[in-house]
Structure 1
């Protein structure tokens, strides 16, 4: 096929588009066979295609052995891949061409995209996971979730069926959404801790209604133990979070001392352009003299920059220990008098 060498396919904002490959563009002898199309495809992005039903309406089973990134947003009626029902000889032609999404059988990403690394989904596409239509049953470098409403709960995406193989996720990104919180105070009664305890990175970007991340909750300790990086951008309503932090103007502090004690694998801490932060640690009740030692076992780089309200790093009485620290930079922190208070 002529499209066998295609490596990147991006289709956006085509409100009337129904199919990517028209059926008559495939040779007649190939129509009723199982065949890999776009076999060299490494990136597929489908954005804002409200009428898109399928990649190809015929009986080809879509398998993309080289696909590394799949980015799908606002494709409400899309069937990701052909299904057994769609390709069944007993199904009628009109059924194949108008197969509804809510009847799609479960699709295993491990089988159709074995080398997928990055998966980016909008709300409508993520619903296929909770409905059991899409199995994320492989190792992924990144899962990115985008364009969710204020009524949505972040964790619903990770509701899982114990009978289905679970993914291994290295990094989670949540962007351009109206979540008010990420992790609630009480652990939900769903099977997700195994999934969420794996990521080493969490990125939150453009979440204007986010009030809490929730990493300070006790049930989050297993997740904190593996977290190496946290990146936050344009979340102006936050009151509690863990670094790295960039341009968050309404914060008073970054995290509590008890939360910090769980950050044993944090390697870099960068805090900059946060206009209201007065201290990095918030002192908690019970932080009496010599209560405990807070150890950043693997922290190597600490940067504090353009923090006009910062008065100190920590005002409590616990001992801070940085055994691996190699580099410290403090710039434009004019009100900072003490790194910590000596009791």
Structure 2
């Protein structure tokens, strides 16, 4: 029996699984489809008003789905009634560059995704993740449980406005890594019970279990204004901060105090001129730095206004004292690193990409201290 199917660059193909073939391929475990210019459907469950459920019972063994660069894809699954079609064994779903796709899962599929572990969606035209259940009223609240999901990425989804277009609750008991960026039409985090349905996650419920998280400028402002338990962010080891290019802002250095076990920091698409500086010479500002954890990895990506990373007396002297990995990508105005000898001794990885105004990487005197690089 066929276990894995890969289809690439078949530009005349309109669908992968016509309704009469679904049962034949129910043993399939992995599906990869890429660069098919005309593809509109993957699983064609309904054709011209004829429901496959009337004649077929399909329990798919499919575990992984990867769909990449399918510009005309409208449906992964055509809408189907509950009962005869099941994809309950799905563990991995990744969708990339499918701009005609407006919704990913029909409700009848989503409700059975108890084994789903990883979900990634990027650069798509999605307006919702799960489509409306037409069999319930607008006043009826539905539950969606993703009990095994530990990795969720939603990126560059400019039209995404909701997870589900109706009253709903979601549970994510094993979620560990949450990366969400450039999804400006949907509210990611809320912190009041009244915001259920308005935001994708409640901070009090999801943050304590996370090890990796992404925050926007608005998320940071909301969290900074609210009162949370001191240990709410205790388990987070990797933090990603992104901001709108049009919002001039100062790097929220004091915000990092909440992350006691932080190991990695990534700053993306921000207008910071300096990565860290004191607002004044006040002793309390400098004392505050001691409460910020020392990170092992720092990445700057598209931080275009920054010209240098370190200067004398910078708070980074403390924050990066144990730095092992430094990545600098697409920082268009960065002209030198200014690496301090005090924390270059532990550096094992230095990655510089598309920093076109870089004049000096490392001086000869400082290069001698990079014994681990």
- The normalised TM-score by structure 1 is 0.56
2:240–2:267 contact (8 Å) kept in structure 1: no
Number of equivalenced pairs: 289
RMSD, aligned α-carbons: 5.6
Task: List alignment gaps of at least 5 residues for structure 1.
Answer: 88-100, 205-209, 241-252
In structure 2, the residue matched to 1:174 is: 180
Partner secondary structure for residue 127 of structure 2 = helix
How far did residue 23 of structure 1 move?
3.4
> Which structure 2 residues correspond to residues 118-137 of structure 1 after superposition, within 5 A?
118-120=119-121, 122=124, 123-128=126-131, 135-137=144-146
Distance 1:177 1:161 in 2: 20
- The normalised TM-score by structure 2 is 0.52
> Which structure 2 residues correspond to residues 91-240 of structure 1 after superposition, within 5 A?
104-105=107-108, 107-111=110-114, 114=115, 116-120=117-121, 122=124, 123-128=126-131, 135-149=144-158, 156-157=162-163, 161=168, 165-175=171-181, 177-179=183-185, 183=189, 189-190=195-196, 192-193=202-203, 194-202=205-213, 212-214=218-220, 216-219=223-226, 224-231=233-240, 235-239=244-248
How far did residue 274 of structure 1 move?
7.4
Larger RCO (CA within 8 A; separation ≥ 6): 1
How far did residue 38 of structure 1 move?
4.9
Distance 1:311 1:284 in 2: 17
Task: List alignment gaps of at least 5 residues for structure 2.
Answer: 47-51, 86-103, 329-334, 344-373
Match of 2:290 among 272, 277, 294: 294
Distance 1:187 1:48 in 2: 44
Work out whether 1:21 is the aligned partner of 2:17.
yes
In 2 relative to 1, CA 314–302 (structure 1 residues): closer, same or farther, beyond 3 Å? farther
Partner secondary structure for residue 195 of structure 1 = helix
Work out whether 1:5 is the aligned partner of 2:3.
yes
In 2 relative to 1, CA 175–62 (structure 1 residues): closer, same or farther, beyond 3 Å? farther
In 2 relative to 1, CA 49–295 (structure 1 residues): closer, same or farther, beyond 3 Å? farther
How far did residue 142 of structure 1 move?
2.4
Distance 1:288 1:172 in 2: 33
Distance 2:111 2:60 in 1: 11
Which structure's residues are more often strand, by fraction? 2
> Which structure 2 residues correspond to residues 1-80 of structure 1 after superposition, within 5 A?
4-8=2-6, 17=14, 19-25=15-21, 37-41=26-30, 43=32, 52=41, 54-57=43-46, 58=52, 59-67=56-64, 78-79=76-77
In structure 1, the residue matched to 2:307 is: 308
Partner secondary structure for residue 325 of structure 1 = coil
Partner secondary structure for residue 259 of structure 2 = coil
